[in-house]
Amino acid sequence: MADTIVTLDEVVKRFGDREVLSGVTLSVTRGQVVCLIGASGSGKSTLLRCCNKLEDIDGGTISVFGTDLSGDDVRGELVRRHIGIVFQSFNLFPHRTVLDNITMGPRRALKMVKATAEATALDLLTQFGLAEKAKDYPDRLSGGQQQRVAIIRALAMDPELLLLDEITSALDPELVGEVLDAVRDLARSGMTMILATHEIAFARDVADLVVFLEGGRIVESGPPEQVLVEPREAATRRFLSRYLGDAPT
């Protein structure tokens, strides 16, 4: 367990009276790819946001790189400098060029000098096939390109953990492939990732661990061959049959 990056222990999160996470326990080791699946509202996004302290938790503990995030003295922005997150809706900065979008974090949060930050950004853009878009504003890009820029923006911080929240859900079907390919490459390169996804086939392909959430609880977790192919729990089967269109009995 030396290389455990994230440990969640009985994590509880409420919004007002509503309990959205009810005792989630999970640990992620370096290089692991964890896929969160579950119906809308099951708490996938909330779980991801708790991991980088975009949300504070109401019970249990989360530790990341051995630091307990639950303490009030832990500053969220310091945690987030090591943990990238990419959202469903890209959220690029519309008033900045692609290059500036990517270098803002390294330059402002990590105090990297401009030239270094831009060199790194251009390397990443080249790697993702977007080098010629560096000077464009985000609105000039297709959804798939924007989402890849958002991934690069997260990677430019050189994160040790990447959180991806349904990053293909807002894309036209023909653009999903290019983004998933980028994520697949990242998985191969050994990036530790937790991703919420509705792409079951993709999860089966890249995941080391699949976690099925329902009503803020982990119903079932295990390797993809088990959870996605021969689920033990009836709830998982029900969920999968809805997504795959056939009902495994």
If binding is defined by CB under 6 A, does position 236 make contact with ligand ATP? no
Residues 44-103 that bind ligand ATP (CB under 6 A): 44-46
Q: Which is nearer to other proteins, 69 or 219 (by Cβ)?
A: 69
Order of strands across the sheet with 193-196? Answer: 83-86, 161-165, 193-196, 33-37, 209-214, 217-222
Shortest Cβ 43–ligand ATP spacing (Å): 4
Contact call for residue 242 and ligand ATP (CB under 6 A)? no
| Residue 103 in the binding site for Mg ion (CB under 5 A) | no
Q: Which does 43 bind (CB under 5 to 8 A by kind): ligand ATP, Mg ion, other proteins, none?
A: ligand ATP
For residue 96, the 8-state DSSP code is: S
* Interaction site with other proteins (CB under 8 A): 52, 54, 76-78, 80-81, 84-85, 87, 89, 91-95, 104-105, 108-110, 137, 139-140, 153-154, 157
Give the three-class secondary structure for 52: coil
Q: Which residue's entry shows tokens 């990056």?
A: 5
For 94, phi and psi rounded to 5 degrees?
-70, -20
Among 45, 168, 221, 236, which residue sits at the site for Mg ion (rule: CB under 5 A)? 45
Q: Which stretch binds ligand ATP (CB under 6 A): 26-34, 41-49, 116-124, 127-135?
A: 41-49
CA–CA distance, 118 with 115 (Å, rounded to integer): 5
- Scanning 22-30, 38-46, 60-68, 231-239 for contacts with Mg ion by CB under 5 A, the matching segment is 38-46
To ligand ATP, the closest distance from the beta carbon of 158 in angstroms equals 27
| DSSP 8-state class, residue 246 | S
Closest distance of CB 162 from other proteins, Å = 11
# residues contacting ligand ATP (CB under 6 A): 12
Residue 156 CB, shortest distance to ligand ATP, in Å, is 25
Burial 130-162 (b: 16+ CB within 10 A, else e): beebbeebbeebebbbbbbbbbbbbbbbebebb
3-state secondary structure of 84: strand
Query: Which phi and psi angles does 230 have, rounded to 5°?
Result: -130, 65
At 187, list the tokens: 């998985």
> Which residues are CB-neighbours of 5 under 8 A, at least 6 positions away?
28, 29, 30, 32, 64, 65, 160, 161, 192
| Block residue for tokens 């509705």 | 198
One of 33, 34, 43, 206 touching ligand ATP (CB under 6 A): 43
Nearer to other proteins, 25 or 116 (CB): 116
User: Residue 65 binds what, of Mg ion, other proteins, ligand ATP, none (CB under 5 to 8 Å, by partner type)?
Assistant: none
Residues that bind Mg ion (CB under 5 A): 45
Q: Provide the binding-site residues for ligand ATP, judged by CB under 6 A.
A: 15, 20, 38, 40-46, 166, 196
